[in-house]
Structure 1
Amino acid sequence: MPWLLSSQVDSPSVCPSRHQCERTAFSFYCAVRDRLPVWLLEDMRHMEVFCWDGGHPRAFLPSEALLYALVHDHQDYARYLLGRYSVSALRAPPCNFCCRECVGAPHLSVAVRYDRVPILSMMAEALKACDTQSEWQDYLDRCGGCSHMADSGKTAVQLAVELSRPDCLLLLLAGGAQPDGLDAALQRLISSGAAERRHAQRCLDFLLLFLPGPPVLRRLQDEPQRWQSLLGNEVFSWLCGLAPPPLLLQALRCLARSGPDQIATLPAFLLPHGWL
């Protein structure tokens, strides 16, 4: 139902109202939710739908469309947006709540929260188009977004640990994100129920694979017997700075850093949740 071209937005006589923008924005949301073909979604985004931004209508940005694709797991649309717009599709869009541009990485947070592993893998690949390696690593380590958002103040790695998303965590760490959150991973391990403990254990294992060295953790010193039984003697001694890292840990660390797919090729007895 095309009724207005994006090029006509600047014309006051045909400028859509806020109500019209909200109505067409919802139609776009539903279209992505229903996973309509990519060509149709792009036609809608360029010709039919607008969002209300600071008192003015404007066309949806590729980064906003990518957020919709993440929420509804429209992998074909996400692949198109990342292939067509590359890193620019990952820019934080303006915040409708505070009417300013976010400075975080909301796409990473949404991908982790909804456990969109295939799209997160596409995003990690798209980040390689950054000018420098430090630029994409900086993006991976950004927090979720504006202060009023649920995931503000948390990096994607911290969120993956908090929600026990091991597959997302491995992708982020292999992409160059900082392995923060070991203390939270230990807390998650002991507070999780039986159904979630395996995922929490895998998150802890992946963090161990990417740690540059053992951090100082107060909880290990306060309850040494408890953590020694949970982690095993070798890993516990390494984290406490009493021994070098186990040889198997060092070997798996080299394998994990060569790419997340390498872990999947390991035999069952060497999978991360079983080797400690």
Structure 2
Amino acid sequence: MPWLLSSQLDYLSSSPSQRECERTAFSFYCSVREQLPVWLLEDMRSMEVFCWEDGHPRAFLPSEALLYALVHDHRDYARYLLDRFSLSVLKAPRCSFCCCRGSGAPHLNMAVRYGRVEILAMMVESLKDTGGEYLDSCGGCGHTADAGKTAVQLAVELSRPDCLLLLLARGARAHGLDAALQRLASCDESERRHAQRCLDFLLLFLPETPLLRHLQDEPQRWQSLLGKEVFMWLCGLAPPPLLLQALRCLARCGPDRISMLPDFLQPHSWQ
């Protein structure tokens, strides 16, 4: 599978039936990559594509098809799967290498890793009423590259501000502030704007005021990165900037409105 670690590609099939399952799965993968029509992909998935599990072939699951749609940004197919199968399509598929039952939210993590903002928006929209537990869950299988990370943590790590705002606006827990600060301090100039926006969004959605006195160990460095007012606030030496307070209130009342603000009122403008 394309989302697994490269070391797993050395795994060899042990039977003709298993090799045939892999052949059909790869053919389906290529068909999604070629952006074939939704009706054709669903015909393939339901009638022609199989996976090998517990010594027997089984039908290819919608949740596995959604992972392919994410990899290749097939938005129409992703929308169909989410509309047709609802939350069940977001259940983690079983890992074919360690045979454990999947857990966590691999589809959210996959959308963040590949920067599939539109498909991520579809998924979080489907979670708004009954699927909140997916937003803060971690990948459970150690064979996956993002094991143990939530989608929010991954968005911070990869500096994906658009993905991060979508997750936070739908109720994902705002955590990873220290990681966001370190990312801002260590990234190169070309990535700094995105890293800064990730930090800004976390500050907007934090449930309580942070207290990071260790920033005073390198005051000049952090003031240059954060601005004096935000630096003083994070160290507990001053109240938050007025604009930041207003935006935090807006984030609590109508978080989707943050992205619609004019540029001069976007979070970066309090620096």
TM-score, normalised to structure 1's length? Answer: 0.88
Alignment partner of 1:188 is 2:183: yes
Alignment partner of 1:225 is 2:212: no
Distance 2:211 2:267 in 1: 23
Paired residue type of 1:210: F
Structure 1 residue 129: Cα displacement: 4.3
Paired residue type of 1:222: D
Q: 1:117 to 1:257 in 2, by over 3 A?
A: farther
Equivalent residue in structure 1 for 2:138, among 124, 128, 143:
143
The secondary structure found in structure 2 opposite 1:112 is helix
Structure 1 residue 119: Cα displacement: 0.4
What does residue range 66-85 of structure 1 map to in structure 2 within 5 Å? 66-85=66-85
Aligned to 1:43: 43
Q: Is the 8 A contact 1:109 1:151 kept in 2?
A: yes
Alignment partner of 1:201 is 2:223: no
Aligned to 2:246: 251
Paired residue type of 1:152: A
The secondary structure found in structure 1 opposite 2:58 is strand
What does residue range 123-202 of structure 1 map to in structure 2 within 5 Å? 123-130=123-130, 136-202=131-197
Structure 1 residue 200: Cα displacement: 0.4
Distance 1:259 1:44 in 2: 42
Paired residue type of 1:102: G
Q: Is the 8 A contact 1:143 1:153 kept in 2?
A: yes
Distance 1:242 1:52 in 2: 60
Structure 1 residue 92: Cα displacement: 0.7
Distance 2:212 2:145 in 1: 27
Question: What 5-or-longer segments of structure 2 have no aligned partner?
Answer: 1-15
**Larger displacement relative to structure 2 (254-263 or 69-78):** 254-263
- Kindly, what percent of the aligned residue pairs are identical? 77
Distance 1:265 1:129 in 2: 23
Structure 1 residue 46: Cα displacement: 0.8
Paired residue type of 2:257: Q
Q: Is the 8 A contact 1:237 1:243 kept in 2?
A: yes
Paired residue type of 1:255: L
Q: 1:171 to 1:258 in 2, by over 3 A?
A: farther
What does residue range 55-66 of structure 1 map to in structure 2 within 5 Å? 55-66=55-66
Aligned to 1:116: 116
Structure 1 residue 192: Cα displacement: 0.9
RMSD: 1.6
The secondary structure found in structure 2 opposite 1:101 is coil
Distance 1:129 1:213 in 2: 24
Q: Is the 8 A contact 1:50 1:59 kept in 2?
A: yes
**Larger displacement relative to structure 2 (228-237 or 256-265):** 256-265
Post-superposition Cα deviations, 1:40-74, rounded to whole Å, max 9, x if no partner, equal 11101111110111211111111111111001000
How many pairs does the alignment contain? 256
Question: What 5-or-longer segments of structure 1 have no aligned partner?
Answer: 1-15, 131-135
What does residue range 85-96 of structure 1 map to in structure 2 within 5 Å? 85-96=85-96
The secondary structure found in structure 2 opposite 1:205 is helix
